[in-house]
Amino acid sequence: MVLGAFALVGAGCGAEDLQGEDLQEDELLAGDEDVTGEAEQAVVYNPWPANSALDIDTNFENGSWSPWSTHIDGAGKITIITDDGATTNLPNSGKKAVKFTTTGADAYRAELKESSSPGGRMDYDKEYWFGFAFRVEKWEQVDWAMLWQLHAVPSEWTTCKSGRNPITLTMTSDSKLALNVVDVPKTTTASGGAGGTRVWTEASPITLNAWKRWVFRFKPSAGSGGVIEAWLNGAKVYTQNGPNVDALDTCGKAQQKWVSPKLGLYKSYSNTSTQVVVYDDIRIDQTTGYPSAFNSVRPPGVAAK
């Protein structure tokens, strides 16, 4: 179910199954990239410093992206930016945020990932709420790109790849933000594409430097108890109940029964143009109950329910 004045692309009406991503997690890169400061100015004061009651609350105010680790291919770049009030290149709240850049040949991935409990490992049949804010600072044309993934996990990474991600935020070839999900799970051997079915597309191309503040309710499940709900800037845009994970990996073996988040930039290997995305205020919690769970993970700039 899709709500709001947005374009819907779903099963039976031009559904698109994004196949660009191979996403093999066979190497965990340590967070050794340079952390640099840039002149930025906050648009919203951060009312919450890091909240220890949440499983993950990363606002970058300490100059670190911990507990996340980096996944970078080619010349992708991840930096901490700092507001000094001098420019319009802004974090969502507070004084700091994290910037992802891909540009030039072979720079096709710059992501943060987390796969440890709690928060980073989302087990099947448990309910999670998460929220985050991002803005697109620069976007030159790509044929496909991913900005946020809840990554499926294969039986093992040495020879197998995962099935589709249950939730992926993507950018379309005409520069529109889109939501892809597993709406009809597959029971056959996975083909290697990760994006799932596009079920929601923003009506207009992305507006540079406009904050996109998301909240999700998510219960990964192979059964009827699965849930996906999504709010953008406080307005609900999508609801799905029922199974939302594929059964098998590319080796035809059962996938592991958990998923993990990744954020940043991942695009087609052949693209050499430049993309820049800034993330802030990433919150994840295993919790239940609306509106309290929504309010606990909503990024600054989203009103309480």
Angle, alpha carbons 133-67-301 (nearest 5°): 20
How many alpha carbons fall within 13 Å on the CB side of residue 101?
Answer: 13
Tokens 């919450």 found at: 48
CA distance 297 to 56: 10
Would you place residue 165 in the very low, low, confident or very high pLDDT band (cuts 50, 70, 90)?
A: very high
User: Could you read off the pLDDT of 258-276 as tens digits, one per residue?
Assistant: 999 999 999 988 788 999 9
CA distance 279 to 232: 15
pLDDT of residue 192: 76
| Range 201-220 average pLDDT | 96
pLDDT of residue 15: 38
Is 32 part of any domain? yes
Is 286 part of any domain? yes
Closest CA to 74 of 21, 35, 111: 111
Is 277 part of any domain? yes
| Range 164-172 average pLDDT | 96
Residue 171: give its domain's CATH number: 2.60.120.200
What 3-state class would DSSP assign to 281?
Answer: strand
Cis, bond preceding 154 (omega within 30 deg of 0): no
CA distance 106 to 76: 8
Is 135 part of any domain? yes
Q: Kindly tell me the sign of the dihedral angle through the C-alpha atoms of 131, 133, 136, 137.
A: negative
Closest CA to 212 of 241, 165, 166, 176: 176
CA distance 108 to 72: 8
Is 11 part of any domain? no
DSSP string, 121-159: SEETT--EEEEEEEEEEEE---S-EEEEEEE---S-TTT
Would you place residue 33 in the very low, low, confident or very high pLDDT band (cuts 50, 70, 90)?
A: very low
Is 12 part of any domain? no
Kind of pairing between the strands at 167-171 and 177-181 = antiparallel
Is 10 part of any domain? no
Let me know: does 201 contact 238? Beta carbons within 8 Å.
no
Q: Can you give the pTM of this predicted structure?
A: 0.85
Is 4 part of any domain? no
Give me the domain span that covers residue 51: 17-297
Domain count, the chain: 1
Is residue 42's pLDDT more than 90? no
CA distance 231 to 284: 15
Structure tokens at 23: 């996403």
Structure tokens at 30: 């340590």
Structure tokens at 90: 């802004």
Q: Determine which of 63-67, 124-128, 186-190, 266-270 has the lowest per-residue pLDDT on average.
A: 266-270
